[in-house]
Structures are given as C-alpha cells and as structure tokens.
Amino acid sequence: MRYIDKFRDPKAAAQIRDSISLLCRQLEEGGRTLRIMEVCGSHTMAISRYGIRSVLGPTVRLISGPGCPVCVTTPGYIDAAIELARTGALILSFGDLLNVPGSMLTLAQARSQGLGVETCYSPLTALEIAARDRKRQVVFLGIGFETTVGPVIAMVDRAHREGIRNLSVLTAFKRVPPVLHALVTDPELKIDAFLLPAHVSAIIGEKPYQVLAERYGKSCVIAGFEPLDILYGINGILQQALSNQVRVDNQYNRVVKPAGNQRASRLIEMYLQPSVADWRGIGQIPFSGYELREQWSAFDAPRRFDMVVPEGHVNPGCRCGDVLRGVSTPPDCPLFGKACMPSQPVGPCMVSSEGTCAAYYRYERPGVKPE
Amino acid sequence: MKTDTIQLAHGGGGRLSRDLIQTEILPRFGQGPLRDLPDGASLDLPDSRVVFTTDSFVVRPLEFPGGNIGNLAVHGTVNDLAVCGASPLWLSLGLILEEGLPMPLLRRVLDTIRDSCSACGVGIATGDIKVVEQGRCDGMYVNTAGIGTRMPGFTLSPGRIRAGDSVIVSGNIADHGMAVLAVRDNLGFKDGPSSDSGPVHRLVSAIQDIAPSIRFMRDPTRGGLAAVVNEMASGLPVDVRIREADVPSDPRTRAVAEMLGLDLFHVASEGRVVAVCDPAVTAEVIDRWRKLSEGSAAGCIGTVTAGSGRVVIETLAGGTRLLDVPAGELLPRIC
C-alpha cells in the first residue's frame, strides 16, 4: 500500500493539476476542443472516484470507452449462463457480472431463485471446487480483456494437466485493439485522443496501438490507474495536442514493457484463437474476441453442453453505440432516464456504475445540480 | 449420548432444549433476571426516559479476524443506543441456529457475547433459541434488542446541523467490512484487515458534558460512511464536504479494497461513530476521543457548508466528486 500511496501524493497531484489547468487554458485560447476517450473501465472508475473531470477546462471532455468487459456482456450470454445453471451446473462468476441484465433475469435474480450461482475473485476457486466435487459440472464465466484472459486460461491449463474434466468455461473474452480499430475507422467518430489501458497493455505491449497514431492521427498515452498516473496521462495528451504531435506515449512504463508479457501471450495463443465477438450496445466486431481452439473444445461450455449462446433481447432504442463513439450524449437517447436507469440498465453505458450514461444520470440529468 | 452439534431437538422445547439452556446459557448469563428463566424480564430502570432498539445479525463467515457474530450482535445494539445519546443497560438475545452447527463454535460465540456484555456493562435480560433444519440458515443468526436510559444534555437530530459545523470520525473506517470480505473470498491474505467491532458508548460518555454542542451522531455500519453522511445531509439546506486525505484508514484495509475494486466510503465499520458538532468544540471532541483506545485515530474529516443536501468529496487528486449511497450488495470488480 505504501508503494501505491506514492501515486496518490496530494502535493504531486497539485503540481500536475496546475500544469493541466495551464494547458487547458492554452487550448481554450487557441479556440480548440479536445475529446479524450478513456478506453478502460478502470480508468472510468478512477476518473470518477478522484474527481478528475473537475480539474479539466470546459473545452476538454473525457468520454468513457467500451473498455468495461462486464458492461459489454450481451444479454444472450447471461441467458446462456442461467440456462446452464438450470441444468444443475454450478456457475462461478466474477462479482460485478451478477447485476448485468439478461433478456429476462440477472444472475443475481437467478441466484435468488435458488440456482447455483457463486461469485469468486480468482478462477482458481473454480478449479478447487471442481476438483473437490468431481460429480458436479462447474462452469466458469470467462469474460474480460487480455488481462483477465491469462488467469482464466491458466486455470484451463491446470485443469487439463490435472485431469479435471468437470470444469468448463463460457467464454466472452474481448480484445482491445480490434474494438479500437472499429472505433477509429468510423467516419462519424468524434474522438481526438485515447487514454489507453494499463493492465491490458502490460500483456499486449505498445505495438498494437501504433496504428492509431500513425494512420489515424490520434494522440495516445498508456496510463496507469492511480490518480497521478491519470493526471500525467491527460497532461501528456494535452502536450501532444498543443504541439500538434501524435504518437503513443507509455506513461505506465513501470509495468508496461514495449513487447508486453510474452509468456501470457504464448499461453493464450496455445489455447485460444481470435473470433468474432458480440458487444452489448455496439454489435458484432470481427476478431474482437477469443474462442477456445478446436482441440480444447472439452473445456468450452457451449460445445460440452451442446448449446448455442442466444442473441438475447436488447431494447432496440438503446443508443450506447453512439454514446461510446462520442456521437451522442446520453440525453439524446430516448430510453435515458425512462426505460434505462442505474436500477434497470439497458446498455453498457448504464450498466457500469461509472459508465457515461450512469454518470450523466447521477450528476447531470435535469434537476441534479452540478458541482 | 453427548452430541457435539446442534440437533433440531435442541429447539424443540424438550429435554435437549433444557440441557442446552442449563449447560450453555445459564452458566454464562444466569446471574441476573434470567436466573429463574421467566417468560419475561422485570427490570428496574434508573430513569423513565428510555431508548429502545433492535437489530438482527447475519454474517458469513461466523468468525472473522477481529471477532465473530457474537460481539457484532452486542456491539451493534450497544452502539445504536449510544449514538442516540443513551447509556446501554439491558439486551435481549435471540438465537436462530442451524441444525448441525458445531457445539464448540456455538460456545465460542456465547463466550464472546458474555465477555462483550461485561466489557460494555450490559446484561442479557431475556432470550430465546430456535433451531432450523440444515440449509435453512447460514449457521446461526442472532437478534439483540437493547434498552438504555437517556444521557442528559443530548438533543441529537440531523435538523440541528448547520453550515460551519465539523464532521468527526472516531477512527479508521471500513475495517469490519473489508475483514469479512477478505476471508469470505479466500483471498489468502497473511496479514489482512481486522474487524473494528467494538463499543462506542465510552466515546459518547466522554463528550456528555459538551452534549449541547453535538448536533448528531451515527455509527457508520451497512452502507459505510457514504450512507451515514448522505442520510444526514439529505433534505437539508447544507452540503457536507469530506476531505479524503483526512479520512483515517488502515493500510491493510486499503490494500484489500484496492484489490477488490471497492470504495472504502461504502464499506461498513462496527466500532466507529461519526459526529457532527459545533466547530467551537471540534478540538475538544477529538482530544477526548483520542485519549480512549477506541478513539485513538479520531479526526476531523470534513465540514458542513450551505448547499442542497449533497455530499462532496475533495479527492486525493485535488478534484471533487459527489459521494453517492452504495447501490446495494458490494460486489468485487474485475474491470
């Protein structure tokens, strides 16, 4: 904790805040606006938790990106998990997936109906439970970006080596570079710069982002999740913008190495192959997911239980795709604050407690006074 | 035959029930009104102005670093009385036990209840035991109700809070919630957080002579500091501004919260009190609390300003944000 505290030092924060204020003023005097997408859900949470929006000038906007793997989980995936629980399988899930709406129910509601749904912090818990009770099918809900894929695949690897055959994974893994590619190739996109994820980059390295700067002219900074990391990241983006430069800076070099984590990458490569993936509120994006290779299909829950993950039902009025691209703001959506609220979210931007829509609902909807 | 687990018959009213009470309850709690096992307790109270409260306790696991469901049940009710400005006197004890509960575990919990009661100067006046079938409850549930008499001088109400007041907390926040979560999720910490479960009535007595300057008190249990501060500000023409850097917390608790992606402001304490007071007595309250072991980390964490019922955090990064009440169950985050 003492190590972390260094990245929360209020004195250092005050200095970098002054620098950001100065850069924001220069940008404003130059008549320029800047839209920065923070790609990762952990950045979104930290920005909100540390009140970082309040230190920016009026012409700099932070837009939350698609980088919360829980929030972009489709209703069909939740439906499939509940379906598996109904067959008597024990479902093990990361905690925050429990409140994500399926077509009819959330996993928390399914649990309250008596179905076997448990939360865990580490995939190894699923392995232990499966090893203890070999008669019961255990299904781990494998969601997450490159960061989380590693530990889940390490679990599969151990189950394979230890001969544990009653454990499988319902995968909805997501890959960051393809979704960023889908965003930047969108002619409507209104994003000038990217604050790039810390932990994902620790796995994949810097290289996959180069194309964002070189071909699409977006300023990019890889930043950690501590308040000082984020402030430095934003400062770096402002400096790039004011000097009309675009490049990928790595502010998080205490963890992110240019080539990423090769060992994790090799393990992923051995078990998984890129596949098309479904994103709640965005739709299908080619190569933006991972699926288990054919030879490991025994660990793939849909193939083991001979089921198809349904499409599920999402309210067609949901405009999260536009909000994520910076094209619309939440109040433009016909569902905002009516059919879609934090207590009954429809799209990913409301599912995440700090998603763009949830934050708008809390702080900026009519009748709520801004700070 | 001597059984070492709870049987359904222990709650059946027959021989096993009687044995359980004779061997486990009376030796621990039978000194006062419980002695002859009447259906109800007759109590002589020193004052007719009493405060009466009840609370039920459900925790998994039943034992955790820093305590078990027993001291939680005593401190929870003692603290509810204390923050109403009352001296706690008597508790009731209702136990709902699950068939199969290990007897040694029950004994440890009852010992803890006895010791916590004696440390708080309260007695068990009446009680009840029921047993439910296996799978119908999480080991055991405990209900305590409590009676205390009003300490003169305290007139506590959120309505008395006004701009300029100070907000004081008696110690590190969120230790209880994080200690329980850390052992529940098998995170394998070697030196993890420890619950702060403990009584706050001495803290309240310590400021009794300046009671008129104390506007409001509450113990930040479920929902944490966020729920308490929002509750007191809501509907009033004031904002509460909390300085994050001044809110005391244990590094072990912070580390677990960090790992699980939880906000300490939303996590329960079980031995702390939050007080709003006239700024003139701020230093006095802190000074007196710090002299007691349970108040050694007390400090002023914020101030009340004119506003519209909001809670604003001045963050470590120098920004500001609104502090909301937690949405519901605390779920560890992966992203």
**What pLDDT digit, counting tens, does each position of B318-331 carry?**
888 888 887 666 66
Nearest residue, CB atoms, A95 vs list B254, B310, B333: B333
Assess B324–A contact: CB distance below 8 Å, yes or no.
yes
Q: Does one domain contain both A82 and A30?
A: yes
A240 lies in some domain? yes
Chain B hits for A53, CB-CB cut-off 8 Å, are 319
pLDDT, one tens digit for every residue, chain A (371 residues): 566 677 778 888 889 999 999 999 999 999 999 999 999 888 988 888 888 988 898 889 888 888 888 888 999 999 999 999 999 999 999 888 898 889 999 999 999 999 999 998 889 999 999 999 999 999 999 999 999 999 999 999 999 999 999 999 999 999 999 999 998 988 888 889 999 998 899 999 999 999 999 999 999 999 998 889 999 999 999 999 999 999 999 998 888 888 999 999 999 999 999 999 999 888 899 999 999 999 999 999 999 999 999 988 878 888 888 887 778 888 899 999 999 988 888 888 888 776 788 878 876 666 554 44
Q: Is B190 exposed, middle or buried (0-12, 13-18, 19+ CB in 10 A)?
A: exposed
Assess A67–B contact: CB distance below 8 Å, yes or no.
yes
CA A252 to chain centre: 18
Does residue B305 register a pLDDT over 90?
yes
Question: Are the beta carbons of B199 and B119 closer than 8 angstroms?
Answer: yes
Residue A196 belongs to a domain with what CATH number?
A: 3.40.50.11740
CA A208 to CA A305: how far, in whole Å? 36
Chain A hits for B308, CB-CB cut-off 8 Å, are 369
Type of residue at B243? R
Q: Average pLDDT for residues B199-212, to the nearest whole number?
A: 97
CA A360 to CA B246: how far, in whole Å? 28
Structural domain total, chain A:
2
Which pairing describes strands A34-40 and A193-196: parallel, antiparallel, or unpaired? Answer: parallel
Q: Does one domain contain both A308 and A344?
A: no
CA B93 to CA B91: how far, in whole Å? 6
Here the tokens at position A280 are 């709640």
Assess B131–A contact: CB distance below 8 Å, yes or no.
no
Domain region containing A342 = 320-363
A370 lies in some domain? no
Chain A hits for B186, CB-CB cut-off 8 Å, are 121, 125
CA B229 to CA B252: how far, in whole Å? 24
Q: Does one domain contain both A141 and A280?
A: yes
Q: Does one domain contain both A263 and A349?
A: no
Q: pTM for the full model?
A: 0.85
SS3 assignment, position A65 = strand
Of chain B, the end-to-end C-alpha distance in Å amounts to: 54
Location of each CATH 3.90.650.10 domain in chain B: 158-322
Q: B50-64 pLDDT, tens per residue?
A: 999 999 999 999 999
The helices-and-strands tally (H runs, E runs) of chain B is 9, 13
Task: Give the residue ranges of DSSP H helices in chain A.
Answer: 2-5, 10-29, 41-49, 75-86, 107-112, 123-132, 146-162, 176-184, 198-204, 210-214, 227-242, 262-271, 301-304, 320-324, 348-351, 356-363
Chain A hits for B313, CB-CB cut-off 8 Å, are 51
Q: Average pLDDT for residues B172-178, to the nearest whole number?
A: 97
Question: Are the beta carbons of B35 and B27 closer than 8 angstroms?
Answer: no
Of chain A, the end-to-end C-alpha distance in Å amounts to: 31
Contact between chains at B333 and A2 (C-beta distance less than 8 A)? no
Q: B12-44 pLDDT, tens per residue?
A: 889 999 999 999 999 999 988 998 888 899 999
Predicted local distance difference test score (pLDDT) of residue B334 = 60
Does residue B317 register a pLDDT over 60?
yes
Residue A340 carries which DSSP code?
Answer: B
Predicted local distance difference test score (pLDDT) of residue A371 = 44
Which pairing describes strands A138-144 and A167-174: parallel, antiparallel, or unpaired? Answer: parallel
Pick among 3.10.180.10, 3.40.50.300, 3.40.640.10, 3.90.650.10: CATH of B158-322:
3.90.650.10
Chain A hits for B333, CB-CB cut-off 8 Å, are 45, 70, 94-96
A62 lies in some domain? yes
Q: Does one domain contain both A78 and A226?
A: yes
Q: Average pLDDT for residues B217-223, to the nearest whole number?
A: 95
Predicted local distance difference test score (pLDDT) of residue B1 = 45
Predicted local distance difference test score (pLDDT) of residue A172 = 95
CA B288 to CA B205: how far, in whole Å? 10
Predicted local distance difference test score (pLDDT) of residue A45 = 83
A368 lies in some domain? no
Assess B46–A contact: CB distance below 8 Å, yes or no.
no
Which of B319, B323, B314 is closest to A21 using CA atoms? B319
- Here the contacts of A121-126 (C-beta below 8 Å, separation 24 or greater) are A121/A94, A121/A95, A121/B185, A121/B186, A121/B187, A121/B259, A121/B260, A121/B332, A122/A151, A123/A151, A123/A152, A123/A154, A123/A155, A124/A151, A124/A155, A124/A158, A125/A92, A125/B186, A126/A92, A126/A155, A126/A167
**Which has more confidence, B256 or B334?**
B256
Location of each CATH 3.30.1330.10 domain in chain B: 8-150
Q: Does one domain contain both A350 and A245?
A: no
Predicted local distance difference test score (pLDDT) of residue A345 = 87
Q: Does one domain contain both A302 and A349?
A: no
Which pairing describes strands A219-222 and B140-150: parallel, antiparallel, or unpaired? Answer: unpaired
Predicted local distance difference test score (pLDDT) of residue A366 = 62
Q: Does one domain contain both A269 and A193?
A: yes
Name the fold adopted by B8-150. 60s Ribosomal Protein L30; Chain: A; (3.30.1330)
CA B15 to CA A334: how far, in whole Å? 67
Residue in B with minimal Cα distance to A353: B327
Q: Does one domain contain both A239 and A339?
A: no
Assess A180–B contact: CB distance below 8 Å, yes or no.
no
A371 lies in some domain? no
Residue A368 carries which DSSP code?
Answer: P
Type of residue at B249? S
Q: Does one domain contain both A158 and A230?
A: yes
Predicted local distance difference test score (pLDDT) of residue A369 = 47
CA A227 to CA A233: how far, in whole Å? 10
Predicted local distance difference test score (pLDDT) of residue B189 = 77
Q: Does one domain contain both A357 and A252?
A: no
Assess A345–B contact: CB distance below 8 Å, yes or no.
no
Chain A hits for B182, CB-CB cut-off 8 Å, are none
Q: Average pLDDT for residues B191-209, to the nearest whole number?
A: 96
Q: Does one domain contain both A29 and A107?
A: yes
Residue in B with minimal Cα distance to A98: B331
Among A167-171, A295-299, B137-141, B184-188, the minimum mean pLDDT is found in B184-188
